[in-house]
Structure 1
Amino acid sequence: MGKNINDYHLVDYNIELSEDEKFMKDINEELEIIVSKKDLFVVSMLNKEQKYAYDIILKKVFSNQAGAFFIDGPGGAGKTCLYNAILATVRSKKLIALATASSRVSATILSGGRTAHSRFKILLEIDQNCICGVSKQSSLAKLLQLTQRLSYGMKLQ
């Protein structure tokens, strides 16, 4: 939120975390996301199209292959249900899955979700010289390297 604990003067000294401490905090934050039984149960209730997408996406994830998928469908088609089932399955295996969305509202309905701007340090005001604020040595860069890599996308009917 753009604030630092030191801005509140709770103690007489500044609290500073090393990059390793930030990295461990980031990892623990992701690994401590509670995998709901409901999201795991939903897998058994996926329709044919959802199950097809679920199986293909997880095959890529668990074989550590890159993949890009586009999930599309009208409101109520079960996209969020599918996303949360995938996230729950990946996280139940103690793997890191970063749930991101383009808007705050969308992020709140994903288990452990955050906006892409928040997660990837994307500036809100951009021009042709803008870059994301993630350095190669940062704790976020290390977290991204541990994450099961894939982008979602597939059309649901």
Structure 2
Amino acid sequence: MQCVAARNGGVFFVYGCGGTGKTYLWRTIISRIRLTGKVVLSVALSGIASLLLPSGCTSHSMFRILIDLDKDSCCAIDVTSDLAELIKIAELIIRDEAPLQHRRAFEAVDHTF
């Protein structure tokens, strides 16, 4: 919450076994930040996990991640699109089930950003 308030960025990894409250943590953080009128993007690898997050969707659909990825891939997001604007104004991006996604998917999103 301090990184969002200070707008200095950061990457955090939350690890825990099933039933330890990770989804509760995500929902609480999302609600708190959206309460102040800020934009939070919540994505997950699977459709089932994305349904548990407020306004959640899969990472492939949100970031337009290609199916066939190589080491220099980028996502299929047009720079002038509404999606690009949404990503630009987002204060926080929560990626649930991150360790289950292929490394090249992370690299494609990073190259796109």
Q: Which runs of 5+ in 1 are unaligned?
A: 1-57
Q: Whole-Å Cα distance in 1 between the matches of residues 50 and 6 of structure 2? A: 27
Structure with greater proportional strand content: 2
Percent identity over the alignment is 31
Following superposition, which runs of at least 4 residues in structure 1 exceed 3 angstroms of deviation?
Answer: 127-130, 149-153
Cα 1:114–1:79 change in 2 (3 A) is same
Q: TM-score, normalised by structure 1?
A: 0.56
The count of residues paired between Structure 1 and Structure 2 equals 96
- Contact persistence 1:68–1:152 (CA under 8 A): no
Equivalent residue in structure 1 for 2:3, among 37, 60, 65:
60
Q: Larger RCO: Structure 1 or Structure 2 (Cα < 8 Å, ≥ 6 residues apart)? A: 1
- Contact persistence 1:90–1:96 (CA under 8 A): yes
Aligned to 1:104: 47
Is 1:78 the counterpart of 2:21? The answer is yes
Superposition deviation, residue 139 in structure 1: 1.2
- Contact persistence 1:68–1:150 (CA under 8 A): no
Cα 1:115–1:152 change in 2 (3 A) is closer
* Deviation digits for residues 5-30 of structure 1 (CA, Å, limit 9, x no counterpart): xxxxxxxxxxxxxxxxxxxxxxxxxx
Q: Whole-Å Cα distance in 1 between the matches of residues 72 and 14 of structure 2? A: 31
Which structure has the greater CA radius of gyration? 1
* Deviation digits for residues 122-153 of structure 1 (CA, Å, limit 9, x no counterpart): 01233445320112222111111110045679
Q: TM-score, normalised by structure 2?
A: 0.76
